[in-house]
Amino acid sequence: MEELPVTAVGLKVNDGVVLGSERRLSYGGYVLSKQAKKVNKIGKFVIAGTGIYGDLQTLTRIMNVEIKYYEITNGRPISVKAAAKLLSVILYQYKVMPFISEILFGGVDQVGPQLYVLDPIGSLIEDSYAAVGSGARIAIGVLESEYRNDMSLEQASELVVKSIKASIERDVTSGDGIDIAIIDKNGNYKDSFIPY
């Protein structure tokens, strides 16, 4: 399968999860936008992805509705693993005409910080760190050389930014700033934009 344009990176540490992505939206060698936010909050979770931007937006909307429906129906919050499995099932249901996306999904619950990687047809893999998209080969090298699960959230954020900056330097479909989302071990959400 051809690599999907854009670069998204995620990692989990003892204190939470950090996901990030650059903002360039490109298609067929053209830059369509420099303001495409590809890291979004869904309930108490965060999603980042690569691929067709409209597919990412649609999946985010579907997941927002499904998570709210689950929580209203069951009278309790959905776990990170259950939400990731729900996303996996949604992706698999569309396997004939799949959402063209690679997704990182993270959150924190009573089990602790969790990070999942999903492909266009719903394969679900839990991991400590991951990079997807056209700049993933470069970003993963940075992550592998510096990742530790006992990093602080500030150090983890700096590593996500460093890995995305490395991919921006070498991948023409990536660029135009970096969005970062953090969920700490208490479930608090924080996001920021870093011009680059």
Cβ–Cβ < 8 Å for 80, 111: yes
Concerning whether 7 is annotated as a catalytic residue, the answer is yes
Domain boundaries, the chain: 7-194
pLDDT digit string, tens, across residues 107-133: 999 999 999 999 999 999 999 999 999
27 pLDDT higher than 80:
no
Helix (H) or strand (E) holding 49: strand 45-51
pLDDT digits (tens, 9 = 90+) for 39-98: 999 999 999 999 899 999 999 999 999 999 999 999 999 999 999 999 999 999 999 999
Q: What are the structure tokens assigned to 170, written together? A: 């070498």
pLDDT of 30 higher than 90: no
Q: In terms of pTM, does the model score above 0.85? A: yes
139-196 tens-digit pLDDT: 999 999 999 999 999 999 999 999 999 999 988 878 899 999 999 999 999 999 999 8
| Candidates 3.40.980.10, 1.10.8.60, 1.10.1740.10, 3.60.20.10; CATH matching 7-194 | 3.60.20.10
CA–CA separation, 127 and 110 (whole Å): 18
pLDDT at 28: 72
Catalytic residue among 7, 50, 60, 173: 7
Residue 1 has pLDDT above 50, yes or no: no
Q: Which residue has the higher pLDDT, 26 or 13?
A: 13
pLDDT at 126: 98
Q: Note the pLDDT of residue 26.
A: 81
End-to-end CA distance of the chain: 29
What single letter denotes the amino acid at residue 139?
A
Q: Are 32 and 44 in contact (CB under 8 A)?
A: no
Residue 3: pLDDT over 60: no
